[in-house]
Amino acid sequence: MREVCDFQQLELVGWCAIVKMKFPHVAGAGKKVISYMALLVGLTVVLGITIPVAVVGANQPQIDKVFKAGSTSCPTETTCVPPLQCATMMMDRTDLVDESMTPRRRCRIKANFDGICCPQMRNDEDNDSEENSRFSPAQSSEINHGRKSGKRNVPDLLLGNDTSDNPHIRTKRCLVGGDCLHKHLRYRRYDGKCNNVLHGRTLWGSAGYPMERILPPAYGNGVWSARVLSVTGNFLPSARSVSASLFGDLHVPHSKHNVLMMQFGQFLVHDITKNKGHSDTAKCCLDDGSHRVANPHPACLPIPVSKVDPFYSQFGVRCLEFVRTAVASRQNCNVGHGRQISAVTHFIDGSGIYGSSAEDSILLRALEGGRLKSLKHVRLNNELPPLDETEGACDKKSEMCFKVGDDRVNQLITLVAVHTLFLREHNRIAKTLDKLNPHWSDETIFQETRRIVIAEIQHIVFNEYLPNVVGPNYMQKYELHPSKGYSNFYNPKVNPSILSEFSAAAFRFGHSTIPDYLELPGGLEKTHKTFFDPTRLREPHFFDGLFRGILHQPQQLVDDMFSHSVTWFLNPKEGFPFGKDLVSLNIQRGRDHALPSYNHYLHLNERHVKNEFSHFGAVVSPKLADLYDHPDDVDLYVGGILETPISGAIVGETFAEIISDQFARLKEGDRYFYSEGPHTNPGHFTLPQLEEIQKITLAGLLCANANDRHSFHVQPQAFDLPHHAGNQPQSCHSNQIPSLDLNWWKD
Ligand code: HEM
Ligand SMILES: [Ca+2]
């Protein structure tokens, strides 16, 4: 019982009563079915009426296929449950494995609880629960669609913004956090708290704060059960089946962008989002993947694998690990749906370098001269992050792995290299500031340097990276271009938090850009062979050689092709010849977050909804029709990745919209945004300092931190391939490669 409650983050939920029930048998499956039900009898105030509420509880992962989304009555073959318990029945997941089987449909009784456990029925006019009124698709569309009038309107209902003047909201705000003792600290906090100092907003964007969303969740039970049913009431196809039949692995190099762009993207992702897991020990499948475990952790949502899977069948694998993201709910408030927690600060604030808490950051610091701890080979000028001695931090074959502010760093050798670049940049700046201002303490040098490095990252993101991702139209539509001089972006009403749509779908476009091979100094190497094995970075000149390689190697197109390095060999368990499938994880993560289907986002963006499979194009439509019951079922990740990239961008329209929206929030909702001036930003730069930062480029940073800057060459547009006109590699002494003049920081 505790376990079930714990993973729901009870400190935030503040409610939970678990009733453990045994259902003797579910016909067909022949398995004993156990269902935990969290029965909340709480009070919700809806339109001034107090009503009792029962909420389906915690082990939804096993039982969540049961509800029929949008159902208003029980279809045939149903097993209904008594009133006052929004109970569900658990089905054996092996039912899903055999795709030939007709899935049995069950639903809960309509009873008294429509609209509370099933807010999908929010269209019912006479259903006036708070959830219903909040989550009407029509309303969210209306709210979110302030955009169409040109200036982006900030949706408030779904984002927990101030809603006091909104008639649809009759609940007090939750997850408010305390008030901030120090409202005008010069340096942002490590945990991201108190960026917004207004009452009720002090946690926005902080580590451990849940994600926001553009559209309301399509939870099967309205509370937390994953989206696993088709609009027809049948099950959605297994995420692995979708991945295996729709996506291949063909080498399709991008004509303009290089692998550094892919790698910077992953570095940035790790700064702003991390789905918080439930438990490191949760295990959903047997080690050999032959079956799911008998009594899975309640957060398990393993991915079924077909007997005839084109890859996994040869190993007898029928089950891929998947643990659901931990959710928070609203403290001391009426019942709400689960909201997925991000474990890192949502802001672009270098948390991947400095950590997402004061405790983490202190461990990363040298506590001398404002520097970060590092491994330094003085003669070779080869500075690396410190070693991570934690058991299991790396692959067994790796002699070394590294510790930075984010524990995903060792995934890929090129990711470690980008972290190394920023660690060197920090220590390089700290050293200069120390010389310029010998009277400064370690703390002052550290914080001033951190402030500069964060500013550099933000500038590179908005000036160089994002324009290439979303293209000029979206840069303009969402006013994403950096300012000249001080900006006036900050708006305390904007919630900067990461959107589920961004984290669980849109920004995962990057997985399609991963090449099958990396051009490393020793030659071509299969990408997955470099996973969790960054030892070679200690070799003299490896760092420079690695960047030379990824500056020249094209990344892959964002399309329906994904490297087998990530669809077959992602992070294999020791001793097994197969790994996980990242595309399946992406699709399943979207269902875990209960992202509504792709068509909902087309509708929201006022684009033609794809009512027929044929609207997806001649090539994929037969496959889609084979997989999904209905076009309205197509997952957001799938529909988005299948779109043709828009002009000047690398992603299609739907992902561009979500990504632009996200970065607009990250800019407008960040009081410490680097270009904000004295009127908002307590840690603003002076104008000459800001002008220096606005000159910097990623190419400049690479030059400043290369092992041998005298022989290093880099193209000025670091994310573009060098054969492009005007982008020929330059010596680091060229005036096309800017460097930061730190004299402006002399006290
Ligand atoms: C070889 C390179 C990469 C590998 C091996 C990798 C692997 C992974 C894995 C294992 C996850 C967790 C999946 C889950 O359980 O939901 C993940 C999440 C994610 N990845 Fe990647 N990834 C890579 C590159 C990228 C790139 C280039 C981007 C974008 C430009 C990206 C964007 C994301 C996002 C947005 C998430 C969700 C993060 C979160 O909130 O937890 N990844 N990736
Ligand atoms: Ca961050």
Selected residue with higher pLDDT from 76 and 314: 314
Element (H, E) at 545: helix 542-552
Check pLDDT > 90 for residue 525: yes
The reply to whether 293 falls in a domain is yes
Q: What integer pLDDT is reported at residue 381 of this predicted model?
A: 79
Q: Which ligand 1 atom lies nearest to the CA of residue 504?
A: 37
Residue of the nearest CA to atom 3 in ligand 1? Answer: 511
Element (H, E) at 142: helix 137-144
Residue of the nearest CA to atom 24 in ligand 1? Answer: 266
Structure tokens that stand for 326 in this block = 């931990």
The reply to whether 297 falls in a domain is yes
Structure tokens that stand for 639 in this block = 């529909």
Q: Which ligand 1 atom lies nearest to the CA of residue 498?
A: 40
Q: What integer pLDDT is reported at residue 223 of this predicted model?
A: 86
Check pLDDT > 80 for residue 19: no
The CA 270 to ligand 1 mean position distance, Å, reads: 8
Q: Which residues of 184-222 are buried (b: 16+ CB within 10 A; e: fewer)?
A: ebebbbbbbbbbbbeebbbbbbbbbbbbbbbbbbbbbbb
The tens digit of pLDDT for each residue in 368-383 reads 999 999 998 777 778 9
Report the distance separating Cα 383 and Cα 152, nearest Å: 44
CA 36 from centroid of its chain's CA atoms? 29
The CA 343 to ligand 1 mean position distance, Å, reads: 14
Q: What integer pLDDT is reported at residue 329 of this predicted model?
A: 58
Phi, psi at residue 18, to the nearest 5°?
-105, 130
Check pLDDT > 60 for residue 168: no
Q: Which ligand 1 atom lies nearest to the CA of residue 273?
A: 40
Check pLDDT > 70 for residue 620: yes
Residue 552, number of CB atoms within 10 A of its CB: 16
The CA 659 to ligand 2 mean position distance, Å, reads: 16
Residue 82, number of CB atoms within 10 A of its CB: 9
Binding site residues, as ranges? Answer: 511
Report the distance separating Cα 354 and Cα 405, nearest Å: 5
Residue of the nearest CA to atom 14 in ligand 1? Answer: 585
Q: Which ligand 1 atom lies nearest to the CA of residue 275?
A: 41
The tens digit of pLDDT for each residue in 583-612 reads 999 999 999 999 999 999 999 999 999 999
Look at residue 482 and give its three-state secondary structure.
coil
Ligand with the closest atom to the CA of 343: 1
Report the distance separating Cα 32 and Cα 30, nearest Å: 7
Average of per-residue pLDDT across 666-676 = 98
State the catalytic residue, choosing from 254, 270, 297, 600.
Answer: 270
Q: Which ligand 1 atom lies nearest to the CA of residue 262?
A: 27
Q: What integer pLDDT is reported at residue 186 of this predicted model?
A: 97
Nearest residue to 508 via CA among 589, 594, 569 = 589
What is the 8-class DSSP label of residue 597? Answer: P
The answer to whether 107 and 66 are in contact (CB under 8 A) is yes
The tens digit of pLDDT for each residue in 41-87 reads 222 222 222 222 222 222 333 223 222 222 222 222 222 222 222 22
Q: Which pTM does this prediction carry? A: 0.82
- For CA atoms 310, 311, 314, 319, the dihedral sign is negative
Report the distance separating Cα 527 and Cα 321, nearest Å: 22
The answer to whether 584 and 568 are in contact (CB under 8 A) is no
Selected residue with higher pLDDT from 197 and 145: 197
The tens digit of pLDDT for each residue in 177-210 reads 778 988 999 999 999 999 999 999 999 999 999 9
Average pLDDT over the chain, rounded to an integer: 79
Q: Under 8 Å CB-to-CB from 539, ≥6 apart: which residues?
A: 521
Q: Which ligand 1 atom lies nearest to the CA of residue 323?
A: 15
Average of per-residue pLDDT across 691-705 = 98
Report the distance separating Cα 510 and Cα 632, nearest Å: 25
The ipTM estimated for the assembled molecules is: 0.99
Phi, psi at residue 42, to the nearest 5°?
-115, -175
The reply to whether 227 falls in a domain is no
DSSP secondary structure of 617-654: -TTTHHHHHHH-SSGGG--HHHHHHHSPPPTT-SS-HH
The CA 406 to ligand 2 mean position distance, Å, reads: 10
Range of the domain at 297: 278-323
The tens digit of pLDDT for each residue in 625-639 reads 999 999 999 999 999
Residue of the nearest CA to atom 39 in ligand 1? Answer: 274
The answer to whether 640 and 505 are in contact (CB under 8 A) is yes
The reply to whether 635 falls in a domain is no
The CA 595 to ligand 1 mean position distance, Å, reads: 17
The reply to whether 300 falls in a domain is yes
What value does the CA radius of gyration of the chain take, rounded to a whole number of Å? 26
Question: Which residues' Cβ are closer than 6 Å to ligand 1?
Answer: 262, 265-266, 269, 273-275, 411-412, 503, 507-508, 510-511, 513-514, 527, 566, 582, 585, 589
Phi, psi at residue 627, to the nearest 5°?
-85, -50
In the numeric block, the tokens 């009792």 are attached to: 52
Report the distance separating Cα 565 and Cα 518, nearest Å: 11
The answer to whether 225 and 659 are in contact (CB under 8 A) is no
Check pLDDT > 90 for residue 114: no
The CA 265 to ligand 1 mean position distance, Å, reads: 9
Binding site residues for heme b, as ranges? Answer: 511
The CA 407 to ligand 1 mean position distance, Å, reads: 13
Check pLDDT > 70 for residue 408: yes
The tens digit of pLDDT for each residue in 482-524 reads 999 999 999 999 999 999 999 999 999 999 999 999 999 999 9
Q: What integer pLDDT is reported at residue 69 of this predicted model?
A: 27
Q: What integer pLDDT is reported at residue 178 of this predicted model?
A: 77
Residue of the nearest CA to atom 10 in ligand 1? Answer: 582
Q: Please, which residues bridge with residue 34 across strands?
A: 22
The reply to whether 116 falls in a domain is no
- Distance between the two ends of the chain, CA-based, in angstroms? 59
Report the distance separating Cα 93 and Cα 65, nearest Å: 9
Q: What integer pLDDT is reported at residue 330 of this predicted model?
A: 53
Average of per-residue pLDDT across 402-421 = 97
Torsion, CA 244, CA 247, CA 248, CA 249, rounded to 10: -110
Percentage of the chain exceeding pLDDT 70: 75
CA 253 from centroid of its chain's CA atoms? 25
Q: What integer pLDDT is reported at residue 627 of this predicted model?
A: 98
Average of per-residue pLDDT across 427-438 = 98
Q: Helix/strand/coil (H, E, C) string of 45-71?
A: EECCEEEEECCCCCCHHHHCCCCCCCC
User: How many separate domains does the chain show?
Assistant: 1
Q: What integer pLDDT is reported at residue 745 of this predicted model?
A: 98
Check pLDDT > 50 for residue 344: yes
The tens digit of pLDDT for each residue in 572-591 reads 998 999 999 999 999 999 99
Q: What integer pLDDT is reported at residue 72 of this predicted model?
A: 26
Helices (H), 651-697: 653-668, 687-693
Check pLDDT > 90 for residue 162: no
Residue of the nearest CA to atom 34 in ligand 1? Answer: 508
Q: What integer pLDDT is reported at residue 104 of this predicted model?
A: 22
* Ligand 1, pocket-test mutation among 257, 339, 508, 580, most atoms within 8 A of CB: 508
Ligand with the closest atom to the CA of 409: 1
Q: Please, which residues bridge with residue 518 across strands?
A: 525
**Band of pLDDT at residue 174, cut at 50, 70 and 90:** low
The reply to whether 658 falls in a domain is no
Ligand with the closest atom to the CA of 272: 2
Ligand with the closest atom to the CA of 263: 1
The reply to whether 305 falls in a domain is yes
The tens digit of pLDDT for each residue in 647-659 reads 999 999 999 999 9
Nearest residue to 513 via CA among 496, 527, 529 = 527
Nearest residue to 209 via CA among 299, 276, 157 = 276
Phi, psi at residue 499, to the nearest 5°?
-90, 140
Residue of the nearest CA to atom 6 in ligand 1? Answer: 511
723 part of the active site:
no
